[in-house]
Amino acid sequence: MRLGWMNNRWNFKNQTINNMGQDAVIYIRTTHGKEPALTTPFGLTIDPKKDDDCDAPQRSTHEVDCDCMRYYSPTYERGSWPQLACILMKLLGADDIEYVWYGSDSKSPVQFTGEDLLSYTRHYLKLQESHT
């Protein structure tokens, strides 16, 4: 069990309780089908995609285990975009990662590109600026 400020799940007598909200999901496709040769930030792990994961993009090979992180998008401003952007930037810049998909656990993730990263970041920065 992971503890920390970004964990919105906890286990009490083997019952998982989830605070309301959408968690982030990230899938990747590597060029060789094996685990990518990179160190993930924040101690996240990259696991092979499960065969029974019906929400995973069909062409993905791995899932980034970030289920304790709240989802962020321009239409759902609740997650920690700086942390998610760091993870996505590292994945998008890896030589052995062909595709990245990002989304929430309430709908299917979509392919995510460097342009998407910039668009989300611009939105996040404008929002931060409006709060100062």
Q: What is the pLDDT of residues 80-119, one digit of tens each?
A: 999 999 999 999 999 999 999 999 999 889 999 999 999 9
Residue 17 has a pLDDT of 43
* Distances from the Cα of 87 to the Cα of 91, 129, 131, angstroms: 6, 23, 25
Residues spanned by the domain of 81: 21-130
Residue 9 domain-assigned (yes or no):
no
Q: What is the pLDDT of residues 39-79, one digit of tens each?
A: 888 888 999 999 888 889 999 999 999 868 999 999 999 99
Residue 14 domain-assigned (yes or no):
no
Residue 15 has a pLDDT of 37
d(CA 65, CA 26): 8
Helix (H, G, I), strand (E, B) or coil at 99: strand
Residue 16 domain-assigned (yes or no):
no
105 Cβ neighbours under 8 A, 6+ residues apart:
22, 23, 24, 25, 55, 67, 71
* Distances from the Cα of 15 to the Cα of 4, 22, 24, 65, 126, angstroms: 19, 19, 21, 20, 40
Contact 102, 24 (CB under 8 A): yes
Contact 72, 83 (CB under 8 A): no
Residue 19 has a pLDDT of 55
Residue 131 has a pLDDT of 78
Residue 83 domain-assigned (yes or no):
yes
Residue 30 domain-assigned (yes or no):
yes
pTM above 0.85, yes or no: no
Split at pLDDT 50, 70, 90, the class of 11 is very low
Residue 100 domain-assigned (yes or no):
yes
Based on the structure, what is the number of domains in the chain? Answer: 1
Residue 54 has a pLDDT of 86
Split at pLDDT 50, 70, 90, the class of 7 is very low
Residue 126 domain-assigned (yes or no):
yes
Residue 8 domain-assigned (yes or no):
no
